[in-house]
């Protein structure tokens, strides 16, 4: 049964912008984050404290975190790779952080230059220290339905990494189809395998739309009781370490589908679409969200009739 309420986790200001070729300055990022929060989104991932050598688009996360007007009831998580990243997050008064592992050994080594086991050992003290400081921790698992180096990934491998992140203290584990190769049946099988190891209500899904399957995959996972979905406004970004991985599924498209299903999100489509148009104007490109394109065409026609 599809949940009556779904939490949307907006990842555009981090996972989206980190792979856009044109960087945005801190002021534009702050304006985007504030617009997204005003739309009703309860979680807006706002940056990452990673080495600017590897992800230069996120080099000003400290300025962004210092500049945003934090709306009550909204969380502004940041990604951290290690203890140094946590230092930055704590100094920025982050209320939530995210750590990231992979279900593929090859991807783990290419992405963070260590094995899966080593990555989990590295994150354990980060999670402990964050939780001791009262900061919530979310876990990401990459390549849950396929790897650019290894091909298919076994659901059991995804379940194993997810269970370790949950046991470590992550309150939620987000399952990411990093290269967007998944299909609905495979997505459901993966979710069922992970749900045998981690409570279903602690799972989220994070789909890229490389093969045009993201909305179908999300719906398939909703049918299996998943009630948290990651998405990026305007379909921003992708993964810089996965060749051919197109943008995240667009938040506007996910919201339009959920609204049509009668699922509550608390997010206003008009305000969300306006935030998407804002960031795309700054980036000099059109929004990839089909629903946003359709709304813009409708508004244009209405203006012509007026």
Q: Are 66 and 23 in contact (CB under 8 A)?
A: no
Residues 6+ apart with CB under 8 A from 113: none
Verify whether residue 239 is a known catalytic residue.
yes
- 143, 170, 221, 239: the active-site residue: 239
Cβ of 243: how many Cβ atoms within 10 Å?
Answer: 10
- Residues involved in catalysis: 239
């Amino acid at each position: 049964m599809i949940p009556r309420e779904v939490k949307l986790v907006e990842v555009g200001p981090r996972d989206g912008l980190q792979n856009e070729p044109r960087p945005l300055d801190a002021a534009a990022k702050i304006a985007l984050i504030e617009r997204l929060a005003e739309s009703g989104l309860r979680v807006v991932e706002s940056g990452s404290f990673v080495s600017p050598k590897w992800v230069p688009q996120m080099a000003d996360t400290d300025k962004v975190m210092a500049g945003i007007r934090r709306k009550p009831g909204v969380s502004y998580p940041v990604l951290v790779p290690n203890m140094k990243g946590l230092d930055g997050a704590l100094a920025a008064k982050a209320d939530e952080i995210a750590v990231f592992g992979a279900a593929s050994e090859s991807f783990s080594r290419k992405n963070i230059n260590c094995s899966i086991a080593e990555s989990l050992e590295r994150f354990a003290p980060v999670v402990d220290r964050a939780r001791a400081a009262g900061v919530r921790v979310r876990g990401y698992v990459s390549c849950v339905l396929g790897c650019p180096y290894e091909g298919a990934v076994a659901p059991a491998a995804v379940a194993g990494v997810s269970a370790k992140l949950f046991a470590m203290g992550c309150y939620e584990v987000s399952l990411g189809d990093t290269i967007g190769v998944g299909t609905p049946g495979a997505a459901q099988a993966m979710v069922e395998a992970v749900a045998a190891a981690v409570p279903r209500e602690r799972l989220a899904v994070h789909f890229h739309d490389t093969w045009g399957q993201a909305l179908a995959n999300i719906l398939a996972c909703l049918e299996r009781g998943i009630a948290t979905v990651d998405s990026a406004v305007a379909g921003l970004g992708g993964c810089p370490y996965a060749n051919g991985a197109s943008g995240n599924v667009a938040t506007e498209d996910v919201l339009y589908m959920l609204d049509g299903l009668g699922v509550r999100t608390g997010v206003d489509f008009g305000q969300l679409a306006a935030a998407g148009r804002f960031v795309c104007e700054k980036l000099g490109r059109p929004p990839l969200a089909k629903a946003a394109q359709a709304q813009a065409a409708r508004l244009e026609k209405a203006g012509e009739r007026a």
